[in-house]
């Protein structure tokens, strides 16, 4: 199964790595912004293509909203909007934080969207790891592409 990881990057590296490790432990293929090779396309376009190529999208939300794009939304918010159109979406919200106002609105929006998603709170990396494993394992059992094919294309060149 192809899993896209979405969140702010700066300051959230450890949680992103935890989500990657948890999904990889289930033999899922990871798609994330850090892996995209230099491209004539904008980073925004490349990331949204990565969302569309994924089977599941993990949205990790903490205190920071991130830089606003030309749409007026953060990259994570744009990725959430793209994913909820047709993907299984898992939203993981960090507990014990005070989110920026735009981030609080995104958290509220993500948690109130009821169709095709799972949400969980986490306070530390271990809680996030368990939540990612649980959510992606359950989805993997229902998803037709749950086994990684050795010929599956890599997403480093999207």
Give yes or no for a contact between 89 and 59, defined as CB atoms under 8 angstroms apart: yes
Give yes or no for a contact between 17 and 67, defined as CB atoms under 8 angstroms apart: no
Confidence of residue 36 (pLDDT cuts 50, 70, 90): confident
Let me know if residue 100 belongs to a domain: yes
Higher pLDDT, 139 or 55: 55
Helix axes 43-53, 75-83, angle to 10 degrees: 30
Which value, in Å, is the radius of gyration of the alpha carbons in the chain? 15
Let me know if residue 68 belongs to a domain: yes
Average pLDDT over residues 44-72: 93
Let me know if residue 154 belongs to a domain: no
Confidence of residue 7 (pLDDT cuts 50, 70, 90): very high
Let me know if residue 11 belongs to a domain: yes
Let me know if residue 61 belongs to a domain: yes
99-113: burial string, b at 16+ Cβ within 10 Å, e else: beebbeebbeebeee
Give yes or no for a contact between 154 and 37, defined as CB atoms under 8 angstroms apart: no
Let me know if residue 53 belongs to a domain: yes
Domain that holds residue 105: 2-142
Average pLDDT over residues 93-114: 93
Let me know if residue 153 belongs to a domain: no
Let me know if residue 158 belongs to a domain: no
Average pLDDT over residues 71-80: 95
Q: How far apart are CA 47 and CA 86, in angstroms?
A: 16
- Could you tell me the strand order of the sheet in which 88-94 lies? 29-31, 2-6, 56-61, 88-94, 117-122
Task: Spell out the alpha helix ranges (H) of 1-124.
Answer: 13-25, 43-53, 75-83, 101-112
Tokens standing for residue 42: 């904008």
Please provide the distance, in angstroms rounded to a whole number, between the alpha carbons at the two ends of the chain.
Answer: 17
- How many domains in the chain? 1
Q: Is the pLDDT of residue 155 over 60?
A: no
The whole-angstrom distance between residue 9's C-alpha and the CA centroid of its chain comes to: 11
Higher pLDDT, 140 or 23: 23
CATH number for the domain harbouring residue 70: 3.40.50.450
């Amino acid at each position: 199964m192809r899993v896209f990881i979405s969140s702010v990057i700066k300051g959230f590296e450890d949680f992103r790595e935890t989500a990657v490790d948890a999904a990889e432990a289930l033999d899922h293929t990871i798609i994330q912004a850090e892996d995209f090779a230099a491209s004539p396309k904008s980073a925004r376009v490349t990331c949204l293509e990565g969302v569309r190529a994924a089977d599941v999208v993990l949205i990790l939300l903490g205190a920071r909203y991130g830089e606003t794009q030309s749409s007026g939304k953060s990259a994570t918010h744009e990725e959430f909007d793209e994913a909820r159109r047709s993907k299984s979406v898992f939203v993981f919200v960090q507990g014990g934080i005070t989110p920026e106002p735009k981030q609080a609105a995104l958290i509220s929006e993500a948690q109130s969207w009821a169709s095709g998603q799972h949400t969980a709170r986490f306070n530390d990396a271990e809680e996030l790891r368990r939540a990612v494993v649980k959510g992606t394992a359950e989805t993997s059992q229902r998803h037709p592409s749950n086994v990684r094919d050795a010929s599956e294309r890599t997403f480093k060149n999207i």
